[in-house]
């Protein structure tokens, strides 16, 4: 294998595929990135056996292909080596069978490699039919839901995103059982099969880093036990989490005693200020009182002091009410909303709080209150 | 005590004095900031008993002084509280004797306080004579030397900066006994006493954060067991480290077999690249070979591979030579130099390497080589 390539081109694709390398990997060869040079171009592939990323650089984007071939290069230093190279064009050449020489006129690395024949075979074939949405839609969908997944390995399914497709409706749910985020997307075309899968949260975080905020199409190929995202010249394949995700539809109330409209920034800042005095505690609980045309957010820490913050609101009822919740959970939820005004839906102090943007029905944020007495 | 003040004014001075608060403090009252409001203005003071910082805000910069007085406010949340306040003008008012109310029209914090009478008395009186230099000179002097101090508490004196004054020459030395940085400054006026003191490194780091890169004057008032910096409206006083700092003058060779001129950026990048493969090791040793008109920097890690980098140089001798050193120490030293070209002075592979800027004689960086055989 011998070729020359522009630094920024190889760096971009190595950065993409290296997201599949796990630091907790115990299979040595999976710490490497597979380089496969053909006359069509260069394929890069990395995998931690749950997540596999493959990228292709066309021969049009390669300065010269002098000898085709393939090899496994250790991933640990490769990104830094490329970044620190002193010239725009970098040369790669396999020497002595299992060593790669990466060099410019004045710098030369000789790295030990592994044989590409020892790399596991990974099936990355596509389906005929797939779900399709834009990169920016998918990116936004991940951002608006993923924070609500569980970090507790005791309920593994809740560490993933539940994705359902039915006709032309795609629905994503994340919940850690104390809060829930649900996003609905209208697809441009109908998908024939009914889908109900759970994709690991950490995989979706890595996918988010690879996606641009663009109108470029992403194809989602869904299989029994895996899902494959095709984006530009990248294939991104993950195993699914096994089991049936809880039915979350009846978690979300549909009738409410209190419907309150507030300014998003004011409400966020108000909770942020009240949360300050409780930040050292595990559950940073703040209290929200709805009194006349005001929300009053307060918190109290016996050793430090207390804080109360007021904002003006519009509301549908005159009855005062009072509810306590985690400031962190509320701020996480508010960060996903994009309008100036938000709507807060509540019943009693023991029933879920639902928060929506005033202008976007596609996203629902839900938080359970915390009993403080 | 009752007053109103602009957010950015109180925030700036609270940020300054809070640098004296230690997280390892065991005396409760020293976790507080002393507020003392007089008709002249507001004095803020914080101390960890080794370092004391006092700042003054003139009544011209205070919106209204309604009632003079003093109180100790806990430092832990005060900066965040002020930062998150929703208006430009913030009101402070002592209520119930030992509580402070910090409020705007819509937000109100009530914080528990301590009695200012319980705060230790700290003498911050000035000398008649002092050493004077500009803030930017002092800032640069700290940056160019402080990285070389020791982090080992076993030799406490080496964790400080040694400052000597003799006539109109100020000299700063830092060493951890493997490397040394020495900076000389010509003072505008002669100081009558001979000074040889050691200031704790962590204190100088805090001072650096308070200083601006300006031509503003800093007065250094030197006492037997303490030093006081006066800068703008800030008094910054630290205890000294006790004992006599080693005489470092004869550490620095004055005659050299090899005098090499190299481009700073090229040399730095070259070491940076070679250091990559050794970065996981405690001593990241690289080897430097001087061959003809080239420096060759190389390193080798059996499990990973090897790297060699070459740069063109000018030199005074024709004899080849070879020396090994810590890449981290060399890069730390190179980061303090400001010219395009640097001069590397060497004797044999067991003698100190000296590095200087080609255009600035006031700074000397010294590194001991590492024997690799």
Q: Give per-residue pLDDT as tens, B178-194.
A: 999 999 999 999 999 99
- B145-176: per-residue pLDDT in tens? 999 999 998 999 999 999 999 999 999 999 99
DSSP secondary structure, B287-327, as one string: EEEEETTEEEEEEEETTTEEEEEEEE-EES----EEEEEEH
Same fold for the pair B2-118 and B134-214+237-250: yes
Domain coordinates in residue numbering, chain B:
2-118, 134-214+237-250, 252-367
Cβ contact A273–B86 (<8 Å): yes
- Architecture of the domain made up of B252-367: Roll (3.10)
Cβ contact A307–B106 (<8 Å): no
B81 vs A contacts (CB less than 8 Å): 273, 276
B108 vs A contacts (CB less than 8 Å): 307-309
Say what the alpha-carbon torsion angle A180, A186, A192, A196 is, to the nearest 10 degrees.
Answer: -10
A81 vs B contacts (CB less than 8 Å): 273, 276
Question: For residue A368, how many C-alpha atoms fall within 13 Å in the half-sphere facing its CB?
Answer: 12
Query: Given a cut of 90, is residue B32 above it in pLDDT?
Result: yes
- Token pair for residue A29? 């060869």
Cβ contact A110–B306 (<8 Å): yes
B23: number of Cβ within 10 Å: 7
What is the pLDDT averaged over residues B192-205?
Answer: 96
B304 touches A: beta carbon within 8 Å: yes
Confidence class for position B280, pLDDT limits 50, 70, 90: low
Q: How big is chain B, counted in residues?
A: 373
- Token pair for residue B260? 């090499």
Topology at the third CATH level for domain A131-247: DNA Polymerase III; Chain A, domain 2 (3.10.150)
Query: Given a cut of 90, is residue A82 above it in pLDDT?
Result: yes
Q: Nearest Cβ partner of A84 from B112, B273, B310?
A: B273
Q: Nearest Cβ partner of A109 from B80, B112, B305?
A: B305
- B324-335: per-residue pLDDT in tens? 999 999 999 999
- Token pair for residue A346? 């509540």
Query: Given a cut of 70, is residue A281 above it in pLDDT?
Result: no
CA distance A169 to B69: 66
Cβ-count burial A217-226 (b if 16+ within 10 Å, e if not): bbbbbbeeeb
Read off the pTM.
0.92
What is the pLDDT averaged over residues A218-231?
Answer: 97
pLDDT (0 to 100) of residue B91 = 98
Task: Report which of residues A42 and B302 the model is more confident about.
Answer: A42
B310 touches A: beta carbon within 8 Å: yes
Contact A150, A178 (CB under 8 A): no
- Token pair for residue A14? 């190595």
Q: Which residues contact A192 (CB under 8 A, 6 or more apart)?
A: A129
Cβ contact B84–A272 (<8 Å): yes
Helix (H/G/I), strand (E/B), else coil: A116? helix
B80 vs A contacts (CB less than 8 Å): 276
Q: How far is B352 from chain A (nearest CA, A)?
A: 27
pLDDT (0 to 100) of residue B194 = 94
Q: Which of A73, A77, A268, A272 to mutate to test the interface with B (most CBs of B within 10 A)?
A: A77
B77 touches A: beta carbon within 8 Å: yes
pLDDT (0 to 100) of residue A282 = 66
Query: Given a cut of 80, is residue B371 above it in pLDDT?
Result: yes
What part of B 99-118 touches A (C-beta under 8 Å)?
99, 106-112
Topology at the third CATH level for domain B134-214+237-250: DNA Polymerase III; Chain A, domain 2 (3.10.150)
What's the ipTM? 0.90
What is the pLDDT averaged over residues A184-198?
Answer: 95
Topology at the third CATH level for domain B2-118: DNA Polymerase III; Chain A, domain 2 (3.10.150)
Q: Which residues contact A189 (CB under 8 A, 6 or more apart)?
A: A132, A168
């Amino acid at each position: 294998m011998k070729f020359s390539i522009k630094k920024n081109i190889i760096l971009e694709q190595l950065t993409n595929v290296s997201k599949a390398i796990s630091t907790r990997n115990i299979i040595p060869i999976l710490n490497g990135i597979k380089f496969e040079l053909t006359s069509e171009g260069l394929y890069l592939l990395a995998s931690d056996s749950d997540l596999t990323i493959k990228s292709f650089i066309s021969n049009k984007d390669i300065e010269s292909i002098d000898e085709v071939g393939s090899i496994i290069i250790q991933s640990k230093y490769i990104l830094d080596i490329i970044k620190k190279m002193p010239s725009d064009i970098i040369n790669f050449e396999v020497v002595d069978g299992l060593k790669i020489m990466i060099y410019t006129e004045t710098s030369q690395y000789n790295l030990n490699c592994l044989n590409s024949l020892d790399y596991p075979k990974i099936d990355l074939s596509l389906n005929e039919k797939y779900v399709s949405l834009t990169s920016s839609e998918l990116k936004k969908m991940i951002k608006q839901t993923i924070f609500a997944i569980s970090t507790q390995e005791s309920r593994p399914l809740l560490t993933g995103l539940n994705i359902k497709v039915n006709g032309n409706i795609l629905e994503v749910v994340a919940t850690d059982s104390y809060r829930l985020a649900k996003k609905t997307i209208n697809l441009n075309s109908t998908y024939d099969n009914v889908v109900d899968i759970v994709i690991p949260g950490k995989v979706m975080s890595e996918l988010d880093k690879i996606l641009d905020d663009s109108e470029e199409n992403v194809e989602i190929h869904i299989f029994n036990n895996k899902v494959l995202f095709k984006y530009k010249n990248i294939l991104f394949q993950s195993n699914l989490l096994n089991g049936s995700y809880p039915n979350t539809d009846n978690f979300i109330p549909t009738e409410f005693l209190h419907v309150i409209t507030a300014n998003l920034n004011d409400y966020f800042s108000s909770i942020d200020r009240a949360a300050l005095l409780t930040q050292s505690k595990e559950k940073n609980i703040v209290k929200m009182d709805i009194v006349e045309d005001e929300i009053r957010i307060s918190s109290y820490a016996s050793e430090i002091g207390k804080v109360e913050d007021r904002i003006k609101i519009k509301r549908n009822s005159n009855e005062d009410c009072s509810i306590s919740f985690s400031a962190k959970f509320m701020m996480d939820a508010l960060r996903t909303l994009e309008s100036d005004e938000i709507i807060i839906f509540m019943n009693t102090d023991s029933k879920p709080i639902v928060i929506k943007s005033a202008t976007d029905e596609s996203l629902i944020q839900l938080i359970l209150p915390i009993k403080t007495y």
